[in-house]
């Protein structure tokens, strides 16, 4: 896809991520909408690096682009940095900025993984489901153990961790690992 004139004017012909090369591609944050506010002008190197898991070193340029006044550039920088958030350099960059919630939402749009919460037997869990504990669990911070066979009603899914759910046992809301439950 050739770069749009409007986008080319905004970036002045330079990649909005690395600021080193000529912008030759348009990256859409949301493939469903064709809006300049959801687009970033990128170069061939950045485009290639997006598809290469070993391109970690290239993305150190995001230390500059995360501070861009353009929200779509911030969002794409945030998205790419999150890929490497287990690396110290990326975590440091992410910790150095306080992005608006709408920028973070924009960054995560279209990246929703098809990962879902599943019980120990591979059954898909949803908010409001009832589950049964498949083994006795010591409940941290309390003086009781939840016994095997305990029914946990109306669970809540932990949105950022598919291995965890929340539920009430003995009137206390606790976090439970999905590998210890069976959908009821």
Task: Report pLDDT digits (tens) over 7-42.
Answer: 889 999 999 999 999 999 999 988 667 788 899 999
- Residues 137-156: what's their mean pLDDT? 91
User: How many structural domains is the chain composed of?
Assistant: 2
Residue 60 lies in a domain: yes
Q: pTM of the full predicted structure?
A: 0.59
Residues 86 and 24 in one domain: yes
**Residue 153 maps to which CATH number?**
2.30.30
Query: For 11-16, which contacts have Cβ atoms below 8 Å and span 24 or more sequence positions?
Result: 11/41, 14/41, 15/41, 15/42, 15/43, 15/45, 15/46, 16/40, 16/41, 16/42, 16/65, 16/68, 16/70, 16/73
Domain's final residue, options 44, 73, 108: 108
Residues 67 and 140 placed together within one structural domain of the fold: no
Domain that holds residue 36: 5-108
Interval 97-121: pLDDT, tens: 999 988 988 888 766 554 678 999 9
Predicted pLDDT at 1: 44
**Given this model, what pLDDT does residue 3 score?**
54
Residues 172 and 93 in one domain: no
């Amino acid at each position: 896809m050739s770069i749009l004139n409007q986008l080319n004017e905004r970036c002045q012909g330079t990649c909005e991520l690395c600021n080193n090369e000529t912008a030759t591609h348009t990256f859409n944050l949301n493939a469903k909408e064709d809006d300049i506010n959801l687009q970033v002008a990128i170069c061939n190197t950045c485009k290639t690096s997006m598809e290469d898991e070993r391109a970690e070193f290239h993305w150190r340029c995001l230390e500059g682009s995360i501070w861009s006044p353009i929200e779509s550039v911030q969002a794409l920088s945030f998205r790419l940095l999150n890929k490497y958030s287990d690396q110290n350099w990326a975590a440091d960059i992410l910790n150095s900025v306080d992005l608006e919630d709408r920028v973070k939402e924009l960054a995560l749009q279209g990246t929703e993984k098809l990962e879902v919460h599943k019980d120990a037997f591979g059954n898909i869990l949803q908010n409001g489901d009832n589950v049964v504990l498949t083994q006795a669990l010591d409940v941290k911070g309390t003086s009781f153990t939840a016994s095997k066979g305990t029914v946990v009603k109306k669970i809540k899914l932990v949105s950022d961790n598919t291995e965890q759910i929340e539920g009430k046992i003995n009137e206390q809301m606790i976090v439970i690992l999905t590998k210890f439950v069976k959908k009821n």
